[in-house]
Chain A
Amino acid sequence: MAILWLMVVVLGLTIPVLAMLLKGVLGAAKSITPTVGAISGVAAAASTDLDAVIELVTTQNYISQVVAGLANYGGSLAVALPDA
């Protein structure tokens, strides 16, 4: 009989501890959800910001044209100006 009462006491003490631990786990899991949502929003915004990256190809073409023009200009200067 004494053992049975001892078990009752142990179980009675276990229940609040278990409830506290489970509540902590649930709280931690719930705190992750909005963070993931925020990360998703930031990733979407970053992805939208990167839509203009494709314009770099146009920039590359322009730079090639500018450098080609500079080379032609340098060629003219090489002919027009005397060497040192």
Chain B
Amino acid sequence: MELPVAIIILFVTLIVLLLAVYLLATIVELLKINAGLDEVLGKVGEIATKTAPVNGVLDAVNTTLVAGRNLLEGLFYQKAGPDAAGLVESAFPGEGPRFLQRIGRAGTVVPIGEEYPRGAAILNSLLGVAPAPAAPAPAAPAASGGRITLRGRSAPSATVVEEPSIPGRLSAKGSRPWER
């Protein structure tokens, strides 16, 4: 056999060996990737299964909340009338126009401010107490009986919360005037 032929045979053998070794290693890696992707697919299936009812539940929750909101907003407009949007605007700045839009009314929104004398008068008349004069200074919250305050002047403290005996004072805590 001539020398070039022997070298060619050697080189071809080397090429075949190279191809075999590298391609086998690549196949092994691809099999590992395939197994890993199978595992991921199982986990993604679990995620899809667990999140499947979320849309329905959230839609139901939103529907319930919107129904409650519409109910209360309708009641609010029924009771406060044209003041309703202003009251909403005073308590939640920026919400007054949206409130009007939701209940299908037009008009300008005039914030009522921090005090709502008409509400206080209604409450006092229901409770049968004389209306209290408006508090002259914000530093005397204890003397603000007979008023409805939309927003507190300071952070709620135990002293302020424990004042349910003031007629006409709306408070989320403590006993209500009509419960006594």
Q: Identify the A interface with B (CB < 8 A).
A: 1, 4-5, 7-8, 11-12, 14-15, 18-19, 22-23, 25-26, 29-30, 32-33, 36-37, 39-40, 43-44, 46-47, 50-51, 53-54, 56-57, 59-60, 63-64, 66-67, 70-71, 74, 77-78, 80-84
Contact = CB atoms under 8 A, between A and B. Distances in A.
A23 B33 contact: no
A33 B60 CA distance: 43
Majority-rule SS of A interface residues: helix
A83 B78 contact: yes
A15 B44 contact: no
B57 interface: yes
A53 B53 contact: yes
A56 B26 CA distance: 46
Contacts of B137: none
Contacts of A80: 126
B98 to A, nearest CB: 20
Given A39-B40, A53-B50, A29 B26 contact: yes
A19 B19 CA distance: 8
A14 B54 CA distance: 59
B47 A84 contact: no
